Amino acid sequence: MDPIHQFNISKLYILGHIGGHEIAITNSALFMFAAVLIIIAGMLAATARRSLVPGRAQAVVETTYEFVAGMVRQSAGEAGMKFFPLVFTLFSFILVLNMFGMIPGLFAVTSHIVVTVFLALVVFLTVVIYGFWHNGLRFFKLFAPSGVPIYILPLIVAIEVMSFFARPISHSVRLFANILAGHITIKVFAGFVALLGGLGIAGWIGALLPLALTVALTALELLVAFLQAYVFAILTCIYLNDALHPGH
């Protein structure tokens, strides 16, 4: 009945110790491995025949490719396509993990902020490192919008720098908070069904309302699961666009 219990991390297999810390395969790690395996196996299996008229699986893979490629081109331009592998990996990884979370009994990896922070940091560091490598010091133009009077420029630059560093926080918190809140809400309403159901006939009738809500919320969460993967990917594209074209 505890709505938080579903997020418990349990150690499945202890690999060893590094510097006094236990290194173990947890249920979280297991589902991440499973997601990677499913994505790779699915992609390979679907594109193995490479028929001109795609079958059902191949059509799904091709549509996903077109979807992500269109997203990258639209937000980061044609030059952004060199980051297509990164965006596609992030999108498919988060999508599959979110969808795992929607299956009852499975673990929602993206409901843990440590996972989403790491994904957001990968994007952030890519933007910073590639931004400096590609643009050199011109990358700093990102923080100085043109047409700002010189006497308020220091303040604007300070705020822009802060807003730049706040990005990975909101980038990761958005995904994590949506998945966490959604799963807790579903669990709480499902808990009402069980509680009311224990009260006899009147309870059964009363339980219909939370039951209907649980069904509706599950549908909504399915949408959110897809949408958060999409939002994460499109924000990645927008941030990468800054690394490609700072200040122009």
Encoding tokens for residue 21? Answer: 């810390």
Q: Residue 234, interface with other proteins (CB under 8 A)?
A: yes
Residue 228 half-sphere exposure, CB side, CA atoms within 13 Å?
A: 29
Stretch that binds other proteins, among 53-61, 88-96, 106-114, 141-149 (CB under 8 A): 141-149
Buried residues in 171-209 as b, exposed as e (16+ CB within 10 A): bbebbbebbbebbebbbebbebbeebeeeeeeeeebbee
To other proteins, the closest distance from the beta carbon of 2 in angstroms equals 23
- Asked if 111 and 176 touch (Cβ cutoff 8 Å), the reply is yes
Stretch that binds other proteins, among 12-20, 87-95, 191-199, 225-233 (CB under 8 A): 225-233
Among 23, 194, 216, 220, binds other proteins (CB under 8 A): 220
To other proteins, the closest distance from the beta carbon of 133 in angstroms equals 17
Encoding tokens for residue 60? Answer: 């799904």
Q: What angle do CA 76, 70, 179 make, to 5 degrees?
A: 85
Query: Total binding residues for other proteins by CB under 8 A?
Result: 36
Q: What angle do CA 7, 126, 146 make, to 5 degrees?
A: 115
Taking the C-alpha atoms of residue 7 and residue 116, their distance in angstroms, rounded to an integer, is 14
Among 178, 187, 210, 233, binds other proteins (CB under 8 A): 178
- The residue to which tokens 């159901």 are assigned: 197
Nearer to other proteins, 35 or 180 (CB): 180
Nearer to other proteins, 28 or 241 (CB): 241
Taking the C-alpha atoms of residue 118 and residue 109, their distance in angstroms, rounded to an integer, is 12
Among 98, 110, 214, 241, binds other proteins (CB under 8 A): 241
Among 15, 49, 81, 145, binds other proteins (CB under 8 A): 145
**Contact residues: other proteins, CB under 8 A:** 141-142, 145-147, 155, 158-160, 162-167, 169-170, 173-174, 177-178, 181, 220, 223-224, 227, 230-231, 234, 238, 241-242, 245-248
